[in-house]
């Protein structure tokens, strides 16, 4: 072999060794032993039973054997396993399976005998009505009131409550699915969704790009579809589909802007699914079909940074994924950074900085209430449920870390680095250690005096924020603060040109000793209690609890009863739980609201309202 060729082969080998550095630690949140046997492809066949609130059917896996193990380890949680089979000589034959003990956050390990040579395994099973990853809504709990609705939320470790699966983000798999629903309802998945008007009750899906288990998603309901462009459409209940298509009309431009910065969009279509109000998150980045809360359909496109966020995951997260939930910041920190860059590209620097500043304030609030150990990016989770330590830390602290690197190396250089990072690790799952190794080689070592590895380690492994962390300051917000000072002394507010962001900053920074008179004055002039912008209403209602501002109480009740998004309702319950009278009132409202909340929101709210019982 000529020397030049040998050299390039050597380079490729070195390269492979670097890229394939095994994940440093096993995933503490999965029983799967993917280094022994893994499952690179899944065929799902499920029937959706709304009467019994169950999915029934089977899952078939192709097996990739990496050693001589004769057992396959899968994650389950509350699943009823009926039968396991192996494909031997093209015939399905029963095989033995056993189940481990129940762990409160991990669920239960399922061990299937796969013998020495079978290439496929099939498991027949059904879910239970309390499956943590599914929410079943009665017709009354939907906007249309006529048909039921069901949707999944698999991240972080809930896929195992509706599929027996190797539920670690370190593993990627492709899938096909056949889903049967009651006639007239539409099923959609994180896969190729048809734009057809027909509702035959049997749907076929294919996801040809390998994704981790937490991105497998399904929703079934009385959905219609409206196209925004050739490759973007909105799926939603009829009442909101046109409003959502208007609200999110900038999505195609967001895709173009992101491609220009970070390389091609690799998932073909990008559609949005608008969920009922009980959806517990702002959005979930299910590939090809982001799941979106209706609370961001504000009527003025003021909250569409959420779409930028979910879209950004098509690069950071879905394309390059965290290898374990300790590494979540690799998903969310990069995504918050990219989200903000998309907003800047489309709407300019001022709006982007306002959004940075709002995020920074949320981070400071979270850091003030969290134990120091949970303000570390590469968090020590042990076997705690990742949902229990959810905070702004992986999001905003991660974003600030990348903003810090951008400041130090310059935007041009940092963009080149990020673009290459997304290409080099495309369709892989990486650990914090792998990232650090790559960062050192591809960025730090190229200009050794700019950022030391000690500094990187401080960002990633120490609590709180480094002293020299970026502190986003918005000129527009400074003007808001100046106006506030004049207003508190009896002056007038000039709010005609204020955006939602400026209102949020204003309300969030009102002094806590604001007089009852001033609360009433503000409300009369600007109808804040009646604001239909979910974020502005949230900020105002939170202040109204602190101030015991009675005129907002009925609206607060209505808000808590009509929205199930955890970020919007839990802080209100947290505030209410601080005084005995409010706590009593909050428990009454919660008992009424509970049926409309997702299990995740229920868990968080109950931890706030019933913690000391
Ligand atoms: Zn995210």
Active-site choice (85, 109, 247, 310): 310
For residues 112-122, average pLDDT: 97
Domain boundary among 314, 333, 352: 314
Q: What's the average model confidence in pLDDT over 370-380?
A: 97
- pLDDT at 144 (0 to 100): 82
Whether the CB-CB separation of 29 and 387 falls below 8 Å is answered with no
How far does the centroid of ligand 1 lie from the alpha carbon of residue 308, in Å? 10
Report which of 593, 534, 522, 525 is spatially closest to residue 564, judged by C-alpha positions.
593
Distance CA 138, CA 276 (A): 11
In this structure, are 413 and 491 located in the same domain? no
- Confirm if 443 and 452 have CB atoms less than 8 A apart: no
Residue 292 CA to ligand 1 centre (angstroms) = 12
Mean pLDDT to the nearest integer, 571-582 = 97
- Which token pair is 315? 């690069």
Q: Are 23 and 429 in contact (CB under 8 A)?
A: yes
Distance CA 297, CA 292 (A): 9
How far apart CA 124 and CA 56 sit, in angstroms, is 8
Q: Is 31 a catalytic residue?
A: no
CATH number of the domain within which 396 lies: 1.10.390.10
What percentage of the chain exceeds 90 in pLDDT? 92
Q: Is it the case that residue 20 has pLDDT exceeding 80?
A: no
Say yes or no: 307 and 327 in one domain.
Answer: no
Does one domain contain both 541 and 571? yes
The predicted model gives 196-204 an average pLDDT of: 96
Residue after which a domain boundary falls, among 208, 239, 256? 208
Q: How far is the CA of 293 from the centre of ligand 1 (A)?
A: 13
Residue 1 lies in a domain: no
The tens digit of pLDDT for each residue in 551-574 reads 999 999 999 999 999 999 999 999
What is the domain extent for residue 286? 222-314
The pLDDT of residue 132 is: 94
Same domain, 194 and 237: no
pTM for the full predicted model: 0.93
Distance 491 CA to ligand 1 centre (A): 41
Q: What separation in Å is there between the alpha carbon of 281 and the centre of ligand 1?
A: 10
List the catalytic residue out of 395, 549, 559, 590. 395
Assess whether pLDDT exceeds 90 at residue 150: yes
Per the domain annotation, does 549 fall within a domain?
A: yes
> Within this chain, do residues 441 and 503 fall inside the same structural domain, yes or no?
no
**Structural domain contains residue 12:** no
* Same structural domain, 197 and 226: no
Known catalytic membership, residue 395: yes
pLDDT class for 613, splitting at 50, 70, 90? low
Is the per-residue pLDDT at 8 higher than 80? Answer: no
Q: For position 447, what pLDDT does the model report?
A: 93
* Residue 25: inside a domain: no
What is the per-residue pLDDT for 3? 41
Q: Is 420 helix (H, G, I), strand (E, B) or coil?
A: helix
Q: How far is the CA of 391 from the centre of ligand 1 (A)?
A: 12
- For 527-540, what is each residue's pLDDT tens digit? 999 999 999 999 99
| 22 exposure class (CB count in 10 Å sphere: 0-12, 13-18, 19+) | exposed
Bridge partners (DSSP) listed for residue 61 = 42, 121
Residue length, the chain?
613
Token couple for 332: 């969310």
Q: Which of these three, 181, 208, 235, is where a domain ends?
A: 208
Q: How many domains does the chain have?
A: 4
């Amino acid at each position: 072999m000529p020397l030049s060729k040998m050299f390039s082969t050597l380079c490729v080998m070195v390269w492979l060794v670097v890229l394939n550095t095994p994940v440093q630690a096993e995933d503490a949140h999965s029983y799967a032993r993917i280094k022994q046997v893994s499952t690179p492809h899944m065929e799902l066949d499920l029937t959706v039973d709304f009467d019994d609130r169950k999915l029934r059917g089977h899952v078939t896996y192709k097996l990739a054997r990496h050693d001589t193990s004769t057992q396959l380890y899968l994650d389950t949680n509350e699943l009823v396993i009926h039968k396991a089979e192996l494909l031997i000589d093209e015939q399905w034959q029963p095989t033995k399976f056993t189940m481990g003990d129940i762990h409160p956050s991990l669920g239960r390990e399922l061990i299937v005998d796969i013998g020495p040579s079978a290439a496929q395994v099939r498991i027949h099973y059904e879910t239970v009505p309390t499956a943590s990853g599914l929410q079943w809504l009665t017709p009354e709990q939907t906007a249309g009131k006529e048909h039921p609705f069901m949707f999944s939320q698999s991240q972080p470790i809930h896929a195992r409550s509706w599929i027996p699966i190797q539920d670690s983000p370190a593993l990627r798999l492709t899938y096909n699915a056949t889903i049967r629903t009651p006639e007239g309802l539409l099923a959609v998945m994180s896969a190729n969704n048809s734009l057809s008007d027909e509702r035959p009750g049997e749907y076929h899906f294919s996801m040809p790009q390998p994704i981790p288990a937490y991105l497998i998603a399904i929703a079934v309901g009385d959905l219609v579809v409206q196209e925004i462009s050739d490759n973007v459409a909105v799926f939603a209940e009829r009442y909101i589909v046109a409003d959502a298509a208007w609200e999110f009309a900038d999505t195609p431009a967001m895709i173009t802007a992101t491609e220009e910065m970070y390389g091609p969009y690799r998932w073909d279509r990008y559609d949005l699914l608008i969920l009922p109000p009980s959806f517990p998150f702002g959005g979930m980045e299910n590939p090809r079909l982001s799941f979106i809360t209706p609370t961001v359909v504000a009527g003025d496109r003021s909250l569409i940074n959420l779409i930028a966020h979910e879209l950004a995951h098509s690069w950071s997260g879905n394309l390059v994924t965290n290898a374990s939930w300790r590494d979540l910041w690799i998903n969310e920190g990069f995504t918050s950074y990219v989200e903000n860059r998309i907003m800047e590209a489309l709407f300019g620097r001022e709006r982007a900085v306002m959004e940075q500043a709002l995020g920074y304030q949320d981070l400071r609030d979270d850091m003030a209430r969290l134990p120091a150990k949970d303000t570390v990016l590469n968090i020590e989770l042990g076997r705690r449920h990742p949902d229990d330590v959810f905070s702004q830390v992986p999001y905003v602290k991660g974003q600030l870390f990348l903003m810090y690197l951008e400041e130090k190396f310059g935007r041009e250089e940092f963009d080149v680095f990020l673009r290459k990072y997304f290409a080099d690790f495309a369709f892989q799952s990486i650990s914090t250690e792998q990232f650090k190794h790559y960062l050192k080689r591809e960025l730090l070592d190229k200009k050794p005096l700019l950022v030391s590895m000690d500094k990187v380690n401080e960002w990633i492994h120490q609590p709180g924020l480094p002293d020299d962390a970026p502190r986003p300051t918005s000129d527009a917000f400074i003007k808001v603060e100046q106006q506030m000072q004049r207003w508190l002394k009896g002056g007038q507010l000039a709010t005609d040109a204020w955006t939602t962001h400026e209102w949020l900053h204003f309300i969030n920074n009102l002094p806590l000793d604001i007089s009852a008179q001033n609360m009433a004055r503000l409300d009369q002039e600007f109808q804040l209690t009646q604001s239909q912008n979910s974020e502005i209403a949230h900020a105002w209602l939170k202040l109204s609890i602190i101030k015991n501002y009675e005129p907002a109480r009925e609206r607060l009740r209505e808000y808590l009863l009509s929205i199930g998004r955890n970020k919007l309702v839990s802080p209100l319950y947290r505030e209410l739980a601080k005084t005995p009278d409010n706590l009593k009132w909050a428990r009454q409202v919660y008992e009424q609201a509970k049926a409309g909340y997702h299990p995740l929101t229920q868990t968080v709210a109950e931890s706030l309202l019933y913690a000391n019982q």
